[in-house]
Amino acid sequence: MIRTALISLTLLFITPTLTLAAEIRGTGDLGLVIERASGSIQIIETTNNSSLGRVEGLGDLSHASAVYSRDERYAYIFGRDGGLTKVDVLTQKIVKRTLQAGNSIGGAISQDGRLVAVSNYTPGGVKIFSSKTLELVADIPATYGDKGQTSKVIGLVDAPGQKFVFSLWDADEIWIADMSKPDKPQIQKFNDIGRNPYDALISPDGRYYIAGLFGEDGMALLDLWHLDAGVKRILNNYGKGEQKLPVYKMPHLEGWAMAGTHAFVPAVGRHEVLVIDTQTWTEAGRIKVHGQPIFVMARPDGRNVWVNFAIPNNDTLQVIDTESLKIIKTLQPGKGVLHMEFEPRGEQVWASIRDDDQLVIYDTDTFEEQLRLPANKPSGIFSTARAHKTGL
């Protein structure tokens, strides 16, 4: 009798624990997909390649991006309408949302995960918020010149030392905001970097910041280890003497495509991927591709680089072998290939096919299609693995 009672009592305490354990899941294989037309995101998982649910009410996501808290639980969505939204990816609910500006173009999260920064077009500048509460911590207007003009801000990334680095489109400048003391931001400015920086990236080790230049052929390089050296111009006049093509869509530099001692970047308005020797920061080659490249992204192991394109060639993906610098595969997954995201260890890659309302998943060794999932005009794909990568 006593034995039976003990067993019953033990089951009474164990059963709720087992039930709770069955409901708990980690965040490491999760991600989100921007559904730009409906102002929603899909929560996805990459272990079984499935959609877990949808979060709605995120405003204008026509040019949206996301970063993650360091525990990977919370996503911070930067909308084109100036909206900053904190989403719990486990409960699939909005935690808080604020309209912090009139027109935004992306953001970043600080090294310690405590601050979220947003780069703004209207009004130009950077606003920095508490990642916990979304309360405003600092407002950095991008004013320049004798008349106090305000510039659009682009290329905002996080950097070691609790810093944010960004570029000013109108002012031709790069700024560094040191947020070691959040109530007293320290701003360092670099002038005359080149005309109209349109986007930027930071190397995975957080050392090099590179801004692409739209107003001229070339790029601006800032070594964050040696700021006293100032900004160095690289790839000057890479299109000199050749007929310029109309730019159908601005290329993106997000996601440092680096393999060995080479970096791969899109050429503005050209059907080329530029190869940079990262030892000397000089041109090491050019790869003719299918169209004007938008994203040039390396597989996590650096073995190959995947490229998508602007209209009218936006139905195509091409894969470049990083040893031979040759195209080894051309895929046509559908119309409107907007973005790619590798699974954390790179065995598969997801691509958003906007005009077909689909996500397509490829094996990155065989290039065979694995699966298609429905999505409402999908664009950016962001995995929680980004939480532990500088600049993403």
**Of 217 and 333, the one with more pLDDT:** 333
- The DSSP 8-state label assigned to residue 246 in this structure reads P
The predicted pLDDT at position 4 comes to 47
**Of 201 and 254, the one with more pLDDT:** 201
Q: Which of 179-183, 204-208, 242-246, 267-271 has the lowest mean pLDDT?
A: 242-246
The predicted pLDDT at position 318 comes to 98
Tell me how crowded residue 86 is: count the other CB atoms within 10 A of its CB. 21
Q: How many residues does the chain have?
A: 392
The angle formed by the CA atoms of residues 357, 361 and 366, to the nearest 5 degrees, is 145
Domains of the chain (ranges plus CATH)? 100-249 (2.130.10.10)
Sign of CA dihedral 139, 78, 389, 214: negative
Q: What is the mean pLDDT of residues 88-109?
A: 96
The predicted pLDDT at position 5 comes to 46
Give whole-number Cα distances, 41 to 36, 76, 311, in Å: 8, 12, 24
Q: Which helix (H) or strand (E) holds 330?
A: strand 326-331
The torsion angle over the Cα atoms of residues 380, 257, 175 and 34, rounded to 10 degrees, is: 0
* Chain centroid to CA 104: 14
The predicted pLDDT at position 251 comes to 76
The angle formed by the CA atoms of residues 303, 307 and 313, to the nearest 5 degrees, is 155
- The DSSP 8-state label assigned to residue 36 in this structure reads T
pTM: 0.92
The predicted pLDDT at position 241 comes to 47
The closest alpha carbon to 95, from 121, 72, 66, 73, belongs to: 73
Confidence band for 23, pLDDT divided at 50, 70 and 90? confident
What is the chain's mean pLDDT, rounded?
Answer: 91
Q: What is the mean pLDDT of residues 359-384?
A: 98
Residue 260 has pLDDT above 90, yes or no: no
Report how far residue 132's alpha carbon sits from residue 86's, in angstroms, rounded to the nearest whole number.
9
SS (H, E, C) 128-144: EEECCCCCEEEEEECEE
Give residue 297's identity as a one-letter amino acid code.
Answer: M
The predicted pLDDT at position 17 comes to 43
Sign of CA dihedral 230, 235, 241, 243: negative
The predicted pLDDT at position 254 comes to 73
Report how far residue 104's alpha carbon sits from residue 185's, in angstroms, rounded to the nearest whole number.
21
Please provide residue 10's backbone torsions phi and psi, each rounded to the nearest 5 degrees: -65, -45
The pLDDT tens digits for 272-329 are 999 999 999 999 999 999 999 999 999 999 999 999 999 999 999 999 999 999 999 9
Residue 156 has pLDDT above 60, yes or no: yes
The predicted pLDDT at position 237 comes to 80
Report how far residue 195's alpha carbon sits from residue 143's, in angstroms, rounded to the nearest whole number.
17
Confidence band for 240, pLDDT divided at 50, 70 and 90? low
Structure tokens at 6: 């003990």
The predicted pLDDT at position 238 comes to 80
Report how far residue 264's alpha carbon sits from residue 379's, in angstroms, rounded to the nearest whole number.
22
The pLDDT tens digits for 49-63 are 999 999 999 999 998
The predicted pLDDT at position 14 comes to 45
Helix, coil or strand: residue 190: strand
Count of alpha carbons within 13 angstroms of residue 150, beta-carbon side: 10
| E strand map for 242-347 | 257-259, 262-266, 272-277, 282-288, 293-298, 304-309, 317-321, 326-331, 337-342
- The DSSP 8-state label assigned to residue 24 in this structure reads -
The pLDDT tens digits for 344-355 are 999 999 999 999
